[in-house]
Chain A
């Protein structure tokens, strides 16, 4: 029994779903980071998040914060500290915005 607002998340909206999982040709910084020429937004997020975990980039005092290393900085707007809460939004910036008039 999903609350109404969450139902609108993804399953009802094929455009949003596509936006999340379609493979996209990437600008170079991201391409370097993931080592692939194409990736979906979802895939990119998963990669970044596991990168953070593997390299223990979370601040030990406050796990909600991430101390970015050079590689990460290159794709997260050069920020040295990033909040976990912002992560999806930052990654989204790399992905082309689907113009509303399309399709």
Chain B
């Protein structure tokens, strides 16, 4: 259970001068380290701060049930509202004398009983979060209906190098679907994918299907996000799935827009589904749709990789003619790709 970051401990030297409602004596050792983080948003609650200093000596036994009792007692008797640091300190001190599992259970308990408690990163240094911790935390938050907090937590933890595993992630997505619009859901998935490289399973598609069964209508944004997420994964099954989506979108009268096509094209090329890719490109061309830089680049590269250089030049021509890109951009992409092709051919990576 490592060292405690100084930011964790509140600066409580000032507050010691105030009166403290609890009856038990003030502990001898008082944390001296001053928090390095910027001051908390809420105003100082002197009693609570002091209480957290006290937390050190409160947990006499590693047993979970007595820990819970102590916790409840403190909560019940402290008149002022309890801040996050208090919880954190409690948890930390408990964690130092008990098993990881028990401290997680205590956390769970805290979550249930304290509606204002929102665990953040600082809660976790005590029990170095791993996917299990994360998972339990997320599940607890979802159970008590605090999905937004769960999402926040996931993002924070991912920043901290302990991203949720697939189970957690999918669980969260399911919960999100239950109580949020689909576009939020897919926005979330998209965020996770682009920032943290977490890939949703096809399970997500299952969820999506379920949503439709329950009568929630996806809109253009939803579809776009879904296609974006799936096609970025670069996996064939998902890309083929995407193409089906486009068909479905049209059937629903939800006309796919340029973004949809471009994203899909990008995805198809990445997966080397060139036949479908060229079909799509043909459709876009006849519709006079503009190419985006990314899909243009990927398409040119994919064609060159297959030795279809003349077609790549065609795409270049189209890009210039439709003014999808500036001459300079279109040309330099082409040039760079051809340079790459030369090297790749030498290495046997391309035709």
Answer yes or no: A10 CB below 8 A from chain B CBs.
Answer: yes
Contact of A88 (CB < 8 Å), options: B194, B293, B328, B338: B338
Docked CA distance A1–B308 (Å):
24
Q: Are B310 and A9 in contact (CB under 8 A)?
A: no
Q: Are B332 and A20 in contact (CB under 8 A)?
A: yes
Residues of A in contact with B, size category: 20 to 34
Interface string of B305-316 (1 = CB under 8 A from A): 001111101000
Q: Are A64 and B309 in contact (CB under 8 A)?
A: yes
Docked CA distance A17–B339 (Å):
17
Across the interface, which residues of A come within 8 angstroms of B95, CB to CB?
none
What is the interface size of chain B, counting residues whose CB is below 8 A from a CB of the partner?
24
Across the interface, which residues of A come within 8 angstroms of B342, CB to CB?
85, 89
Q: Are A2 and B297 in contact (CB under 8 A)?
A: yes
Q: Are B310 and A45 in contact (CB under 8 A)?
A: no
Docked CA distance A2–B334 (Å):
14
Across the interface, which residues of A come within 8 angstroms of B304, CB to CB?
85
Docked CA distance A87–B337 (Å):
12
Answer yes or no: A35 CB below 8 A from chain B CBs.
Answer: no
Answer yes or no: B318 CB below 8 A from chain A CBs.
Answer: no
Answer yes or no: B48 CB below 8 A from chain A CBs.
Answer: no
Q: Are A42 and B328 in contact (CB under 8 A)?
A: yes
Q: In A8-62, which residues have CB < 8 Å from any B CB? A: 9-11, 16-17, 20-21, 42, 45-46, 49, 58
Q: Are A85 and B341 in contact (CB under 8 A)?
A: yes
Q: Are A84 and B293 in contact (CB under 8 A)?
A: no
Answer yes or no: A100 CB below 8 A from chain B CBs.
Answer: no
A47 to chain B minimum Cβ distance, whole angstroms, is: 12
Q: Are B333 and A9 in contact (CB under 8 A)?
A: yes
28 of the cross-chain contacts (CB-CB < 8 Å) are: A1-B294, A2-B293, A3-B297, A5-B336, A6-B297, A9-B332, A9-B333, A11-B329, A20-B331, A20-B332, A21-B328, A42-B331, A45-B331, A46-B327, A49-B313, A58-B310, A64-B309, A64-B310, A83-B309, A84-B313, A85-B304, A85-B309, A85-B338, A85-B342, A86-B338, A88-B331, A88-B335, A89-B339
* Given A9-B333, A20-B328, A21-B328, 16 more pairs with CB closer than 8 A: A2-B293, A6-B333, A6-B336, A10-B328, A11-B329, A20-B331, A20-B332, A42-B331, A64-B308, A84-B309, A85-B304, A85-B309, A88-B331, A88-B338, A89-B339, A89-B342
Closest CB pairs A-B (n = 8): A63-B310, A10-B332, A64-B309, A88-B335, A84-B309, A9-B332, A85-B309, A64-B310
